[in-house]
Structure 1
């Protein structure tokens, strides 16, 4: 089922709120990704207020993500909407170099009924676990998301870019049980584009 992200978000560098909305994705080959690791403040999409939290038996909150190819080894913090943010249709993520799980959407693991979103800022001139995604991420990479139920291994299926003002109707907001999506700023267009990692869980042994 197609859903819309209807919220606004303020970037980490303190720019005015930007709508992250609809349009089609641009699939980027590995060769098309920038070779520089320099990143600027990213804008992470936020969940639609028209869809409440889902109950997902046997799935569990993500608490850590390890993505060796991009040098990410990071705790994951929950991020939800306050009443004021919901009423204004806007979300201001903490301006920190942390990874955030969007709580109104999916949780990973057996029994997942929705896509899991982990988002964060890339930064220019300072460390961030998301800084290496634009220059190093490749299809086929493996990454591990840890939950209270244990580690889950994912493989990267697709790397795309989306204009921040054309993200709202993107297929990344489709409900896909078990899918993992990472979102941060794309370094080739620091203030206009996000880079999106879509990954699928590997079967457990």
Structure 2
């Protein structure tokens, strides 16, 4: 479950928004996972503005693309703002589907969000979306699992500053570089600066594998170019 400012087998180690997932080409079924999952909590501001998605899928802006070490050496076209459908961090062995998750009125009132208990990532659709025209940070969460391999565990154990991160969207591909991998106490996550409005920034939230009940791992990434 993920706590928000004011406004989830294996054991799920998160009390914040993200769920560890196993890399796979297809989205997993919400109810058919073995193992035990620990609850996650995501903190977020109350009633964030609705995301305005552009139906035009033509890329309209060029910028350098990252190599495997996160350095920019080529050019690519940035697509317009659109729903993210997959997240990849090749250097960390992460490649998972991303599904939309819309907070309910009860979620906003309780300042908490619990994503479905699957191996997928979840885009919090009430905040930002990636692409040209983005108006806020893109938040992606998923469950970490305690007694089996899961992709989101790798944000705690394998992701590093400088790694290239790719978001596949309904309009194309957005390329980023990871600029911070930190941990945060779950109880105070809702007042964290990660909720500041930063268009086209990506924030990934999951349980920190070394302290799944007390801390979240927070991965932030900035677009290339």
Fold agreement, TM-score > 0.5? yes
Match of residue 30 from structure 1: none
TM-score, normalised via structure 1 length? 0.76
For residue 128 of structure 1, report the CA deviation from its aligned partner.
2.0
Correspondences of 1:45-124 after superposition (within 5 Å): 45=42, 47-55=44-52, 57=54, 58-124=80-146
Secondary structure at the counterpart of residue 153 of structure 2: coil
For residue 54 of structure 1, report the CA deviation from its aligned partner.
2.9
The answer on whether the counterparts of 2:44 and 2:190 sit within 8 Å (CA) in structure 1 is no
The answer on whether the counterparts of 1:120 and 1:184 sit within 8 Å (CA) in structure 2 is yes
Structure 1: which 4+ aligned runs deviate by more than 3 Å? 12-15, 17-20, 46-49, 83-90
Query: Deviations 1:100-144 (Å, cap 9, x if unpaired)?
Result: 000000000111110001111110122322011111111100011
Q: Structure 1 residue 195 and structure 2 residue 217: aligned?
A: yes
RMSD: 2.7
Going from structure 1 to structure 2, the CA distance change for 1:42 and 1:129 (only over 3 Å counts) comes to: farther
TM-score, normalised via structure 2 length? 0.70
Correspondences of 1:1-205 after superposition (within 5 Å): 5-6=5-6, 13=11, 41=38, 43-45=40-42, 47-55=44-52, 57=54, 58-203=80-225
For residue 83 of structure 1, report the CA deviation from its aligned partner.
3.8
Secondary structure at the counterpart of residue 168 of structure 1: helix
Secondary structure at the counterpart of residue 157 of structure 1: strand
The answer on whether the counterparts of 1:66 and 1:72 sit within 8 Å (CA) in structure 2 is yes
CA distance in 1, matches of 2:95, 2:15: 28
